[in-house]
Structure 1
Amino acid sequence: MGFCLQNVTYYKPTLSPTHFKISIAHQSATVRAISADASTMAVNSVRVAAAQMTSINDLATNYATCSRLVKEAALAGAKLVCFPENFSFVGAKDGESLKIAEPLDGPIMKGYCALARESNMWLSLGGFQERGSDDAHLCNTHVLIDDAGNIRSTYRKMHMFDVNVPGGAVYKESSFTDAGKEIVAMDSPFGRLGLTVCYDLRFPELYQQLRFHHGAEVLLVPAAFTKVTGEAHWEILLRARAIETQCYVIAAAQAGKHSEKRESYGDTLIIDPWGTVIGRLPDRVSTGIAVADIDFSLIESVRTKMPISQHRKPIEFWKQASV
């Protein structure tokens, strides 16, 4: 249900029995409503973009790519651009990320705050190398910046990727990364956003907390999944998180070869609360953006028709049931 203009893909969610499509004409996206309540729906939605890129160990090059993608998103009518984990830097050698790590008020993040302000765009910056507790550690930090260039929220990745990937490399993120301890959700023009990073995706408890205890409507999952794990689990895990929480999921991904030692799976996705993929780049490893509309009436409809929040058992129930 998507149409591609250059490397931008446009989508509009489907809400049965009311159907909507976005068509591309004269290089602009025009919403054509097929139902009588189309005007109401248009007011109750907002356009977002998910960026896909291949970051390298060059801060200036990555910034230039991000800047270009923000401009493409603005032309497509998006008001929020979500970037993948390690958007600003991917080291080619061990220790490079630690060397460039800096506080959130340092020059790297100030540059991205300026980009948000100058483009009048909200930015979700997943996986920034924030300086950690000492010189040997950093925080893998998801930073949310508003359209005035202000940092509105930060989330530090909880789950460390300490994994021996089958047929691939051995990773030990905890050896140089301080794990976060706080769940983060915040209100925005794009709904109540739940912030996560990459490997968090495999731990549904976090997403359950974000939805049922913190009121999330849109889950942000910036990532740099390995090629092996991405091929096996990326899309199915994302769709599962959307279905079980009845939230939109925006998953911006690193893609392709960053260096001789590192390759990411790609496949940036935007998924609706019914688990339908509504935004996806035509090429899994290309640089570009996927664009879709967050339809708040769809969230309400799905949650009303299947009120799982009312049917869930409290933790006390499970404690008693296990005795």
Structure 2
Amino acid sequence: MKIALAQIGSGEDVAANLQKVTDFVRESAQKQTDLVVFPEATMSAFGTDIFSAASEHSDHWQKSLANLAQEHGITIVVGEFEPAGERVRNVAGIYSPDGTRDSYAKMHLYDAFGYSESDTVEADEELCTFKVGNVTVGVAICYDIRFPKLFAELSRAGAQVIVVPTSWAAGPTKKQQWQVLTRARALDSNCFVVGVDQANPVVGGPDVETEAPTGVGLSVVADPFGQPLIELGEGEDLKVVRLDLDIIEKAEQAVPVLKNAKLGY
């Protein structure tokens, strides 16, 4: 299975973000990838008017992504927002080559480090998996990665690969936390974890906390033994990695954490 990590930086211009997605999908398709994963909040970055973005652009955005997936014969996972009353849902849109769309709505909202995502975002509680060929893929979003049981449950639901669109907040030790968590969740679940973050909007700038989580880069693929197969830098980039799915069975036999778990954990 070939996966493209599309580490982009989105802004408040939804049309410009859509064009960037289009360009990266085309490049991914040229590299003959099965799946391309974009960051959380690709439609409109945090710190912008995400409610207006969802209300005004969702229909056109979704139709455009469905057409892209169908035109290029590739599955696309991309961070979006959907209207939910006076708030929005933070979702990963899943667009298949047959033109259909599925979605996962973020379960654990980022009410941490002085930020309150729940002020504007409505959470959901449903697991999500989908198929790319014969491979079952699970979905989590950003702050979800701090909750091991979610990843264990996705694995129990059949996931072999778990994609994590992300817009990681900067701050002291935050890059190190991201690196540790992606590898730990792969170990917890006997799965590949594909974490795709927003590019750092201030590449090379100071590692300080910002009001909104806007990304630090460092997108990564960790194998089921917790080893990074590829790690991107902080700027915009597109990298393709081929996953050897046989490693999953080796990890399940060597470290059967789900089989050995007690009390459902």
Q: Alpha-carbon deviations, 1:259-305, whole Å to 9, x = none?
A: x9654211111111111111222xx2221212111222111222123
Say if 2:75 and 2:132, in contact at 8 Å, map to a contact too. Answer: no
SS for the counterpart of 2:44 is coil
SS for the counterpart of 1:225 is coil
Q: Alpha-carbon deviations, 1:7-47, whole Å to 9, x = none?
A: xxxxxxxxxxxxxxxxxxxxxxxxxxxxxxxxxxxxxxx11
Q: Alpha-carbon deviations, 1:224-252, whole Å to 9, x = none?
A: 00111632300100000001211001111
Q: 1:307 to 1:62 in 2, by over 3 A?
A: same
CA distance in 2, matches of 1:90, 1:250: 20
- Work out which of the residue numbers 248, 252, 265 in structure 1 matches 2:192: 248
- Work out which of the residue numbers 6, 25, 28 in structure 2 matches 1:70: 25
1:300 alignment counterpart? 249
CA distance in 1, matches of 2:259, 2:201: 45
2:220 alignment counterpart? 269
1:147 alignment counterpart? 97
CA distance in 2, matches of 1:52, 1:84: 7
1:173 alignment counterpart? 117
CA distance in 2, matches of 1:52, 1:239: 18
How many residue pairs end up in the alignment?
A: 256
CA distance in 1, matches of 2:239, 2:211: 27
Say if 1:271 and 1:278, in contact at 8 Å, map to a contact too. Answer: yes
RMSD: 2.1
Which residue identity is paired with 1:99? Answer: S
2:50 alignment counterpart? 97
The correspondence of residues 231-246 of structure 1 with structure 2, limited to 5 A, is 231-246=175-190
- TM-score, length-scaled by structure 2: 0.89
Which residue identity is paired with 1:290? Answer: K
The correspondence of residues 1-323 of structure 1 with structure 2, limited to 5 A, is 46-90=1-45, 92-93=47-48, 96-102=49-55, 106-126=59-79, 128-132=80-84, 134=85, 136-151=86-101, 153-163=102-112, 165=113, 170-189=114-133, 191-212=135-156, 214-228=157-171, 230-257=174-201, 262=212, 263-281=214-232, 284-315=233-264
TM-aligned CA deviation for residue 75 of structure 1: 2.3
CA distance in 2, matches of 1:245, 1:92: 32
Q: Alpha-carbon deviations, 1:107-144, whole Å to 9, x = none?
A: 11111111111111100113x11111x1x200001121
Q: Alpha-carbon deviations, 1:165-186, whole Å to 9, x = none?
A: 3xxxx31111111110111123
% same residue? 27
Say if 2:199 and 2:216, in contact at 8 Å, map to a contact too. Answer: yes
SS for the counterpart of 2:126 is coil
CA distance in 2, matches of 1:183, 1:91: 24
Q: 1:202 to 1:261 in 2, by over 3 A?
A: closer
Say if 1:280 and 1:290, in contact at 8 Å, map to a contact too. Answer: no
CA distance in 1, matches of 2:130, 2:116: 30
TM-aligned CA deviation for residue 89 of structure 1: 1.1
Q: 1:92 to 1:160 in 2, by over 3 A?
A: closer
CA distance in 2, matches of 1:234, 1:287: 18
CA distance in 2, matches of 1:256, 1:222: 14
Q: 1:183 to 1:79 in 2, by over 3 A?
A: same
